[in-house]
Structure 1
């Protein structure tokens, strides 16, 4: 299994922005297969919808760094690791702006970008982004179409209900051809159908700590996605999967390693990454934990 980690982005780790390049380079040396960023815009004082279905927003989101800037730093500090987004809330961004940012990162990294897109859940963040939340599904669908046009046509243009790109020369494409692989997140029926029809892969999630890992939470939706993909005329075997491992506060490294081991054995997941925001407060602590996780999983250092 390839094992990756999140870059220092939220909570106390966000206050160590000057350490992002060092973290990225050292994580790669330790044997990490990928590095990831999230996409939080606000930490509302009185949220309409809380995080993870709750009624509040975790304190770690009160400090946050920009995902595109962090990926650019990581791209220039590393040579081999994949660089992923977990996940960009695509409806917040005009597709032309999103395409420019992602193309830049894919070029900087020599073709190592793995963009994961989603629609988010916070009404306050949508208000701050100036985008109607009730349009988020339709805007994501149009964004996927517009990205395809901008990345595979020259001149490129797109006309949709919510997004429009006038005819433009598009002579700089991503390093990956015909485009970077696009992964989508979500468990709602519409989200799973979108993965089956439109995506190169799915981003399921598990939360070590309070709950024992249940492989059915990954296997059953993935089986449905592949069934729907086949009915849509796609090859189900070409759909990838990257497991997002979000340890709850207080989760031990043994629990994280057990989750990774079981996921590989019981779901066939060949790629997973661990979110550090709840289990590390400093970059050095995060690197120490990354090394322990990689060694326990049998991953060898590259240095």
Structure 2
């Protein structure tokens, strides 16, 4: 099982940004396989839609560092781990700007970028970027089209309903075409994964983690079936599961390790991301938690 962790990005650790590079190096040294960012633009005072079914946004979202900058720092500070987004809200960004940033990150990291996208869900954030929320799905589809052009063609050109890429010289390419993973829970989003993506990004929340079969195994089977129906090889698709522990307790490391064991036994998932955002206000605490999870799952390092 590959095990990754979130970078220090949100909440109290946002004020410890100068320690991000050291954190990334140490987590890599501990044996982690990947490092990840989220994409949160606002923490609305009176949100129209709360986070994860609640009425408000978590306090951690009141301070969030830029995901692209953090991935750049992590890329420069490490040599082996994958660096990824889970997720970037792709409809917010002009695809040409997004493509430049992602290509830079892949080149900077030597081909270690995993591009994870979502459509976004907060009305206030869409208002802040002046993008109609109702267009988010179609804008994501066009963004995937533009990125494909920029990463495979020179000159590259695209003209769609929402985005235009005038014919442009596009000599700088990623080291390898970054795999694109999509967060998807609704049927239309799952079909997009099946038709267009390299992988799926599901999530489980602790302590109220749903049954692995219901939350991961069964939807994954549906996505694989949809991929076959679309003429794609289901075995060519991958999955990275995000685990968010949300309650600080003395047993949280054991709970995370136990869930990882269940996931490995009950699903085809072989790569998990442990999001430490809600568990630590200090980078040292994040490192302790990451070391604890790795030790519980894999045993002490020799």
Provide TM-score, normalisation by structure 2.
0.97
- Structure 2 gaps of 5+ residues are none
Which residue in 2 is equivalent to 1:228? 226
RMSD: 1.1
Distance 1:249 1:170, change over 3 A: same
Whether the 8 Å contact between 1:210 and 1:248 is mirrored in structure 2 is no
- State the alpha-carbon separation in 2 of the partners of residues 134 and 235 from structure 1: 31
- Deviation of 1:136 after TM superposition, in Å, equals 0.2
Contact (CA 8 Å) 1:183, 1:203: kept in 2 or not? yes
Give yes or no for contact 2:212–2:266 (8 Å, CA) kept in 1. no
CA distance in 1, matches of 2:255, 2:64: 26
CA distance in 1, matches of 2:291, 2:299: 9
**Relative to 1, partners in 2 of residues 1:125 and 1:212: Cα closer, same or farther, differing over 3 Å?**
closer
Q: Secondary structure at the match of 2:182?
A: strand
Shift of 1:269: 1.1
- In the alignment, which residue of structure 1 is the partner of 2:139? 139
Provide the rounded CA distance (Å) in 1 between the counterparts of 2:300 and 2:168: 46
Kept after mapping to 1: 8 A contact 2:212/2:267: no
SS of structure 2 residue aligned to 1:207 = strand
1:213–1:259 contact (8 Å) kept in structure 2:
no
**Corresponding residue number in structure 1 for 2:116:** 116
Contiguous gaps of at least 5 residues in structure 1:
none
Q: Which residue of 1 aligns with 2:69?
A: 69
Q: Distance in 1 between matches of 2:184 and 2:210?
A: 20
Partner of 2:245: 247
Is the 8 Å Cα contact of residues 103 and 174 (structure 2) preserved in structure 1? Answer: yes
- 1:14 corresponds to 2:14: yes
Q: Distance in 2 between matches of 1:4 and 1:250?
A: 19
Q: Are residues 1:168 and 2:164 paired?
A: no
Residue in 1 that maps onto 2:33: 33
The CA deviation at 1:52 is 0.7
Q: CA deviation at 1:51?
A: 0.3
Q: What residue is the counterpart of 2:184 in the other structure?
A: 186
State the partner residue of 1:206: 204
Corresponding residue for 2:235?
Answer: 237
- Residues paired across the two proteins, number: 300
Conserved? CA contact 1:35–1:82, under 8 Å: yes
Q: CA deviation at 1:213?
A: 4.2
In 1, distance between residues paired with 2:211 and 2:6?
A: 20
Aligned to 2:258: 258
Superposition deviation, residue 280 in structure 1: 1.3
Partner SS for 2:212: coil
Residue in 2 that maps onto 1:279: 279
State how far apart, in whole Å, the 1-side matches of 2:148 and 2:225 are. Answer: 24
List, as ranges, runs of 4+ consecutive aligned residues in structure 1 with deviation greater than 4 Å.
299-302
User: What is the aligned partner in structure 1 of residue 57 from structure 2?
Assistant: 57
Measure how far apart 1:214 and its partner are.
2.9
Moved more, 274-283 or 164-173: 274-283
2:56 is aligned with 1:46: no
Aligned equivalents of 2:152, 2:301: Cα separation in 1: 38
Contact 1:25 1:78 in 2 (8 A): yes
- Shift in Å, 1:265: 1.1
CA distance in 2, matches of 1:133, 1:42: 15
